[in-house]
A and B are shown apart, each in its own frame.
Chain A
Amino acid sequence: MSKEWPLWEIFIRGQHGMSHRHVGSLHAPDEEMAIKNARDVYTRRNEGVSIWVVEAKHISASSPEEKGPLYEPSNSKVYRHPTFFDIPEDVGHM
């Protein structure tokens, strides 16, 4: 058995209405302690209103070697960005 606590990825929501954002990782023996540790490590300057913790092993990641097939086909397709619309000024920032 490993003597190290498992690694947890920490996501914090800064304000109501915003999405949770990855802020870093830490070690903890279980999910409750992971939340407590995240509170102490990442929110002591009033950064958050909500904490998610996910054990790192449960995150599946894309492989950097596959970046060609994954991302390059969209390089030449600028029309996929919705930048060809005129937005009235009084709409403000979208």
Chain B
Amino acid sequence: MQDQDALFQFLLRMGDNTLVLGHRVSEWCGVSPVLEEDIALANTALDMIGQTQFWLGLAGEVEGKGRTADDLAFLRDVWDFRNVLLVELPNGDFGQTLMRQFLFDAWASIMLGHLMTSTDKRVADIAEKASKEVAYHVERSAGTVVGLGDGTPESHAKMQAALDLLYPYVGELFESDDVDAAMVSAGIAPDPASLRDAYDALIERVLTEATLTVPASKFTHKGGRTGYMHTEHLGHMLTQMQWLQRAYPGATW
């Protein structure tokens, strides 16, 4: 695999994760259980869309075909997306959304920490900017997971159900393939598999405090980040996210 192709794929993976999760989280805007959480979730969504602009902007630059971040976000179809399956799953209830957010934020905080020392300065710069936002995201989502997990019997049961549902999607974040091998040998990004121990320690600490039990099985659904197969949910999400550019091509504010 050519280095530039691998870098392009890597950047799509980073950008599609934040794009798809950012859009999912934005679906709570105006309908969250309380006003304060509504605003907090919208802030988180906006942060992730902002990070997407950097990742996909750089991806378009590396690809060298003149595609912008907007082109990549709004004019690709499902099979060209490279996000992990975890982020495209429907929101479920509020607890499930926050559990997914925590499971993602924990990974993002560790990943960005490594990317800040990337040999590619453009990658390191994006990581440095994003890591400050993600440090707050993970503090907030971890706090909510603890609050709800160690809350009432009802909230505890919902958070355990959310963890049981979502944990089988976590492992995809740590899958490695030839794109990752190329990134490792170029010193651009760490091997995803090498982040697992730090991740397990982080979520174990928070989930224990939340009185939740991590499922024993490490089985994982996968296929999103390689583009092999997405869940049926992503296509439905894109019909919402992309409809304006599809219906009115080239429309601008």
Q: Give me the interface of A with B, judged by CB distance under 8 Å.
A: 5, 26-30, 32-33, 36-37, 39-41, 44
Contacts and interface: CB of A to CB of B under 8 A. Distances in A.
A12 to B, nearest CB: 15
B132 to A, nearest CB: 13
B152 to A, nearest CB: 10
Given A40-B43, A44-B43, A32 B36 contact: no
Contact of B143 (A26, A27, A36): A36
Contacts of B67: none
A15 B35 CA distance: 27
Interface residues of B, number: 12
5 contacts: A33-B143, A36-B143, A37-B39, A40-B43, A44-B43
B36 A37 contact: yes
B247 interface: no
B34 interface: yes
B147 interface: yes
B140 interface: yes
A41 B136 CA distance: 14
B168 to A, nearest CB: 30
A37 B36 CA distance: 6
Interface string B114-143: 000000000000000000000010011001
A36 B233 CA distance: 32
Contacts of A44: 43
Contacts of A33: 143, 147
B97 to A, nearest CB: 16
A25 to B, nearest CB: 11
A32 B147 CA distance: 11
B135 to A, nearest CB: 12
Contacts of A5: 34
Interface in B132-190: 136, 139-140, 143, 147
Which of A28, A32, A33, A39 is packed against the most chain B CB atoms within 10 Å? A33
A47 to B, nearest CB: 14
Contact of A36 (B34, B35, B40): B40
A36 B39 CA distance: 11
A41 B39 CA distance: 6
Contacts of A40: 36, 39-40, 43
Contacts of B43: 40, 44
A93 to B, nearest CB: 36
A27 B36 contact: yes
Contacts of B139: 36
Contacts of A30: 147
A28 B43 CA distance: 17
